[in-house]
């Protein structure tokens, strides 16, 4: 019988994706337990995890901050903030330059919340001056929503600069930091962030199962009565934790056990600075290697994050993405298709439990696969 990746002796393929991502063996092993969702030992872990998330953000509950965990993927967390924190007659300005900004607009459409979308091209950061004009022109806008690292391309948006504009107009500020939190330092107070959303399976290197929202306790308490749905009611979720330390409704128990271990490993690596440094080395190794093969990154380096990198398809008749993807998968490497609407690209993530040596191995495999396919790079 052929040794296949489904046999327990084989190694998992490496994920060069933006989440779920490759996790450490110890994070996976942490899930080999059953935990009672109401049990005091599990509740103590929930409490510990919530405090640790604030620590990663250089905040604390003593200073009035909360980290609220919510079942579901990252999208659920973003939608929960809109559903809970925008008043009934509120209006949201969304800054969009990729799929995740567009998804925010879609959520607001579903929630029947008034909104406008300020778009820039997918290779261009959000425009603080355009936002400034929009906020001055429309005083009914109550909140501004932005994506920090637009995972569609890997572009980094200027959240601090935009935050200064938002605060000068005294509006609420919602930041999707899904793919940047814990790997790129974010000063919530300095950027004027009221709600920051991230999830278990991105740069903290846990497994999927929940998102979390960081906000000021008083601000969320002031949203009483706004919630448009029950399961995504973030304020009710906070009250549940207040009352008995529990999630309302069944928690992702195994995911939380994995996350607890992932948080310890983040600390061991040197926190946000240590993790960010490894991801940066991964990214630099990737770009250097890919350029040697003849690839061009899609973004200008000035706006490129070290989280995920988009590369344009080779300009060759012999190149077909599906075949390229399959051949890399056969060699144990999973890359990510492009999501950019106007350009033919694929993406390679630098995040997860991967190291520069893994990136080197990926780049060599890409070189061999292109040879096999008869793709000549120019």
Cis-peptide into 20, omega within 30 deg: yes
Which residue of 79, 176, 194, 233 would you call a contact of ligand PLP, by CB under 6 A? 176
Which residue of 59, 80, 147, 215 would you call a contact of ligand PLP, by CB under 6 A? 147
Which residue of 57, 86, 178, 272 would you call a contact of ligand PLP, by CB under 6 A? 178
151 part of the interface to ligand PLP, by CB under 6 A: yes
Q: One symbol per residue from 182 to 221: x for binding ligand PLP (CB under 6 A), - otherwise; what is it?
A: -----------------x----------------------
Cα–Cα distance between 85 and 220 in angstroms, integer? 7
Cβ proximity to ligand PLP, 147 vs 328, nearer residue: 147
H helix intervals, 317-355? 321-330
* Residue 332 tokens, joined: 């144990």
Cα–Cα distance between 200 and 114 in angstroms, integer? 30
User: Which of 6-14, 70-78, 279-287, 334-342 is the region at the interface with ligand PLP (rule: CB under 6 A)?
Assistant: 70-78
Query: Could you tell me where the beta strands, DSSP code E, fall in the chain?
Result: 14-15, 65-71, 91-96, 114-119, 143-147, 149-150, 155-156, 172-176, 195-199, 210-216, 308-312, 333-334, 336-337, 345-349
Cβ proximity to ligand PLP, 283 vs 289, nearer residue: 283
Please list every residue from 354 through 373 that binds ligand PLP, using CB under 6 A: none
Which residue of 23, 43, 71, 73 would you call a contact of ligand PLP, by CB under 6 A? 73
* Residue 37 tokens, joined: 């969702």
19 part of the interface to ligand PLP, by CB under 6 A: yes
User: Which of 116-124, 176-184, 230-238, 241-249 is the region at the interface with ligand PLP (rule: CB under 6 A)?
Assistant: 176-184
What is the full DSSP assignment across 211-224?
EEEEEEHHHHHTTT
Contacting positions for ligand PLP (CB under 6 A): 18-19, 73-75, 100, 147, 151, 176, 178-179, 199
């Amino acid at each position: 019988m052929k040794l296949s990746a489904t046999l327990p002796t084989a190694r998992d393929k490496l994920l060069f994706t933006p989440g779920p991502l490759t996790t450490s063996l110890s994070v996976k092993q942490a899930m080999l337990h059953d935990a009672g969702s109401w049990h005091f030992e599990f509740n103590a872990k929930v409490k510990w995890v919530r405090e640790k998330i604030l620590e990663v953000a250089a905040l604390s509950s003593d200073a009035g901050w909360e980290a609220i965990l919510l079942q579901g993927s990252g999208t659920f967390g973003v939608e929960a903030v809109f559903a809970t924190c925008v008043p009934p007659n509120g209006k949201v300005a969304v800054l969009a330059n990729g799929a995740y900004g567009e998804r925010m607009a879609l959520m607001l459409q579903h929630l029947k919340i008034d909104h406008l979308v300020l778009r820039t091209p997918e290779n261009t950061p959000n425009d603080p001056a355009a936002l400034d004009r929009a906020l001055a022109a429309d005083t009914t806008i109550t909140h501004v929503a932005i994506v920090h690292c637009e995972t569609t391309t890997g572009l980094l948006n200027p959240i601090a600069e935009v935050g200064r504009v938002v605060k000068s107009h005294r509006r609420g500020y919602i930041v999707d930091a899904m793919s940047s939190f814990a790997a790129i330092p974010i000063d919530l107070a300095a950027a004027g962030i009221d709600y920051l959303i991230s999830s278990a399976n991105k740069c903290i290197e846990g497994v999927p199962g929940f998102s979390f929202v960081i906000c000021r306790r008083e601000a969320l308490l002031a949203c009483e009565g706004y919630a448009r749905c029950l399961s995504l009611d973030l304020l009710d979720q906070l009250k549940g934790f207040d009352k008995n330390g529990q999630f309302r409704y069944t928690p992702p128990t195994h995911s939380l056990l994995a996350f607890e271990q992932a948080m310890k490993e983040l600390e061991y690596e040197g926190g946000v600075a240590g993790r960010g440094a490894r991801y940066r080395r991964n990214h630099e190794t990737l770009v250097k290697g890919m350029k040697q093969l003849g690839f061009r990154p899609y973004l200008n380096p000035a706006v490129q994050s070290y989280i995920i990198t988009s590369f344009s398809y080779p300009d060759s008749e012999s190149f077909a993405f599906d075949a390229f993807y399959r051949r890399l998968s056969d060699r144990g490497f999973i890359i990510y298709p492009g999501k950019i609407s106007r350009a033919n690209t694929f993406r390679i993530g630098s995040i997860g439990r991967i190291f520069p040596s893994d990136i080197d191995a990926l780049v060599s495999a890409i070189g061999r696969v292109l040879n096999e396919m008869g793709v000549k790079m120019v």
